[in-house]
Structure formats: C-alpha cells, structure tokens
C-alpha cells in the first residue's frame, strides 16, 4: 500500500511504500535530463504531465510537480504507477550498484562532515521528502546540493543556514559556512 505525506514544499509530495524502492541510496532524476534516464519506471514517471523531478530513496519516492497541474490529478497516477510496478516486480526500482567516490575521503575533516550529514542531517531532510549531497569542502566552506522536495523549496535556504550550517559548525570546527551548489 502506498501512503502519501505532505512536504514543506507545496509542489512536492512524498510517496511511502512498504517495499524497498531504492537499494542504492538516494537518487534524483529531472525531466530536463529524461533522455539520459535508462530505468523504464523512472522514464515513464518523468513523462507524466506536470512531473518535474523524482527522487527515489530506500522506502519513499518524492515527486516535484509544476504549478500547472494539481495533486488531485497527479497523485492517483503516481500511486497507480508505483502499485503496478510492485505488482509485477519483487525487486527495488533502483537495484544496480552505485559507485561513490569522494576524492579526498582520507581527509579527516571530510570524513567528519560526511558522518554528520549521514547521521544527523540526512534523516531529517528525508522526512521532508528530500536529500542532501556533499559536493566539496574548501577553505572552511562546505558545498552541498539539496535534492527532491528540498530543491526549490521556499524554506530550503533557512534549512541550509539555520539547520545544516549550525550542526556542521558545531560538530566540525573546521567548517565556517555551508552553501548550496
């Protein structure tokens, strides 16, 4: 059974499933890069009228829509698409292994930043239907990318500065500020 949850972004909705949606962590797909998408489920979902962005995580999927369509129109289509997939497949939508490489992971500061992002920040952002990706750390500045419901959300800048920046500065003394990439 698929359940939905509101997010702080009115143009984004979170769809929860008891099935594992992604076995490879959180991945984001945007309509403007649909020609690069190889997964048939995601490609079809992105082709729905009004779907702008899709974020898949372990047990939820977030959809960000355009303003020209209502959730009353789109929500049943997304639920039906998810139900149809899991009726016909017993495996996650995203299953191939993802290779993650952070060039300077041996750097102790980056390890601390990644640990705080994974344990303290990512779970909170996931509750709102989004994700946060580490991009770089240079001269005291951490660059991150907000994804899913968080991208383009009116409160994302406040989340970034008051939440993410304060937590990282508290736990990692080398951090001076956090910026969106």
Contacts of 181 (CB under 8 A, 6+ apart): 135, 136, 143, 144, 145
Residue numbers of the domain that contains 160: 108-180
CATH classification at residue 17 = 3.30.1370.70
- pLDDT tens digits, 133-175: 898 988 899 999 888 877 777 677 777 777 889 899 999 999 9
**Inside any domain, residue 28:** yes
What is the pTM for the complete model shown? 0.65
Cross-strand partners of 169: none
CATH number assigned to the domain comprising residue 138: 3.30.300.130
In three state form, how does the secondary structure of 46-75 look? HCCCCEEEEEECCCEEEEEECCCCCHHHHH
* pLDDT over 90 at 90, yes or no: no
Do 26 and 76 fall into the same domain?
yes
The 27-30 sheet, strands edge to edge? 3-6, 12-16, 60-65, 51-56, 27-30
pLDDT value at position 51?
96
Greater confidence (120 vs 50) lies with: 50
Query: In degrees rounded to 5, what are phi and psi of residue 174?
Result: -75, -15
How far is residue 79's CA from residue 95's CA, in Å, rounded to a whole number?
Answer: 20
CA distance 6 to 11: 9
Please check whether residue 93 lies inside any domain of the structure: no
Cα separations in angstroms, 66 against 26, 152, 165: 22, 11, 29
- The number of folded domains in the chain is 2
């Amino acid at each position: 059974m698929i359940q939905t949850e509101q997010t702080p972004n009115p143009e984004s909705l979170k769809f929860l499933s008891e099935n594992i949606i992604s076995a490879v962590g959180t991945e984001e797909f945007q309509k403007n890069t649909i020609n690069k998408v190889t997964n048939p489920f995601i490609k079809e979902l992105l082709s729905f009228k009004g779907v702008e962005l899709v974020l898949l995580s372990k047990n939820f999927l977030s959809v960000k829509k355009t303003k020209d369509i209502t959730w009353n129109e789109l929500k049943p289509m997304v639920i039906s698409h998810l139900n149809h997939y899991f009726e016909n497949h017993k495996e996650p939508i995203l299953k191939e292994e993802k290779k993650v490489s952070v060039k300077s992971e041996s750097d102790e500061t980056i390890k601390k930043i990644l640990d705080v992002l994974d344990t303290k920040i990512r779970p909170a952002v996931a509750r709102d239907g989004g994700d946060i990706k580490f991009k770089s750390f240079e001269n005291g500045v951490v660059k991150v990318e907000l994804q899913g419901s968080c991208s383009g959300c009116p409160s994302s800048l406040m989340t970034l500065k008051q939440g993410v920046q304060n937590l990282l500065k508290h736990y990692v003394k080398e951090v001076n500020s956090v910026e969106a990439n």
